């Protein structure tokens, strides 16, 4: 994976769609000017992948940012997610339509089930399959699905999810889940790659930042990509958006990648998909 040298590059999903391996997450970016600016700055820096969700309540601003950027819609890989209270067949389709309307677009590049709501995610997946078959979305996937959720879904799905977006960082590698997704050809994607800011306290990362003359954030994001994991660091600050993107001019050695892998301690900074209160 040392050949990752272009911010606009991507990994090919199991249906042949190319998904940019680096993007901007807009969780916690406020609706209105804050998120509009973040999206415009990211697109100016060369980002071509924007990840939002209905629950973030900033889809309208994301759509506005894309339009104001002057980058053609078809060049932007746009992702949103169906929230837990909208799960179920009919309600997921309605939620998708509402997201499109807020974003001001007539299709999405990727639509995800945000969390595996027990007793509902199978029906929700059926809705996503319908949207995919109707060509209203180019790829469909899930978020926060552990192996047992995926096995249950695959048991009745007619389409294998193209993506699984998970909490992923040096303290939560989930090697078995990574392996399971690889085996099923489900692309892994990281949310919270910077451990909600906690990466800055990790000694090994401080050491590697010095060694490679890069920031701690840049080391972690590069590690993601070299592990074949799509990453979407979130920020609404212009300098941070630019800094996060400056990871295509160096590579981590295999040895340093495995040292980072060994930091794994199964520690979450976000909710646990098995105990999350839906």
**In terms of C-beta density within 10 A (0-12 exposed, 13-18 middle, 19 or more buried), how is residue 155 classed?**
exposed
Please give the full DSSP string across 199-238, using - where no structure is assigned: GGG-HHHHHHHHHHTS-HHHHHHHHHHHTT-EE--B---H
* Dist. CA 50–CA 42, nearest whole Å: 9
* Dist. CA 164–CA 220, nearest whole Å: 19
* Dist. CA 62–CA 39, nearest whole Å: 6
- What does the angle CA 57 – CA 48 – CA 136 come to, to the nearest 5 degrees? 65
If we measure between CA atoms, which residue out of 143, 168, 162, 157 comes closest to residue 53?
143
**What DSSP state is assigned to residue 197?**
G
Contact indicator for 217, 241 with CB cutoff of 8 Å = no
CB atoms within 10 A of CB 176: 10
> Which neighbouring-strand residues pair with 92?
none
* Dist. CA 39–CA 243, nearest whole Å: 15
The residues assigned a catalytic role are 56
> Which neighbouring-strand residues pair with 167?
191
């Amino acid at each position: 994976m040392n050949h990752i040298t272009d911010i606009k590059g991507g990994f090919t999903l199991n249906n042949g769609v190319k998904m940019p391996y680096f993007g901007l997450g807009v969780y916690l970016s406020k609706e209105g000017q804050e998120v509009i600016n973040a999206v415009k700055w990211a697109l100016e820096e060369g980002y071509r992948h924007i990840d939002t969700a209905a629950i973030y309540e900033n889809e309208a601003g994301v759509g506005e940012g894309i339009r104001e950027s002057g980058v053609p819609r078809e060049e932007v890989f746009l992702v949103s997610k169906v929230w837990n209270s909208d799960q179920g067949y009919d309600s997921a389709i309605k939620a998708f339509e509402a997201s499109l309307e807020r974003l001001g677009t007539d299709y999405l590049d990727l639509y995800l089930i945000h969390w595996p709501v027990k007793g509902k995610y199978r029906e929700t997946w059926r809705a996503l399959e319908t949207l995919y078959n109707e060509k209203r979305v180019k790829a469909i996937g899930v978020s926060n699905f552990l192996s047992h959720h995926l096995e249950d879904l695959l048991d009745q799905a007619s389409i294998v999810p193209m993506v699984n977006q998970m909490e992923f960082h040096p303290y939560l590698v989930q090697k078995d889940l990574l392996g399971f997704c690889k085996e099923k050809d489900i692309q892994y994607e990281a949310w919270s790659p910077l451990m909600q800011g906690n990466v800055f306290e990790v000694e090994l990362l401080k050491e590697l930042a010095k060694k490679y003359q890069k920031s701690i954030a840049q080391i972690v994001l590069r590690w993601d990509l070299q592990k074949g994991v799509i990453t979407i660091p979130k920020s609404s600050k212009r300098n941070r958006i630019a800094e996060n993107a400056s990871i295509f001019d160096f590579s981590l050695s295999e040895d340093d990648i495995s040292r980072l892998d060994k930091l794994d301690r199964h520690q979450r900074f976000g909710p646990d998909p098995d105990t999350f209160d839906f």
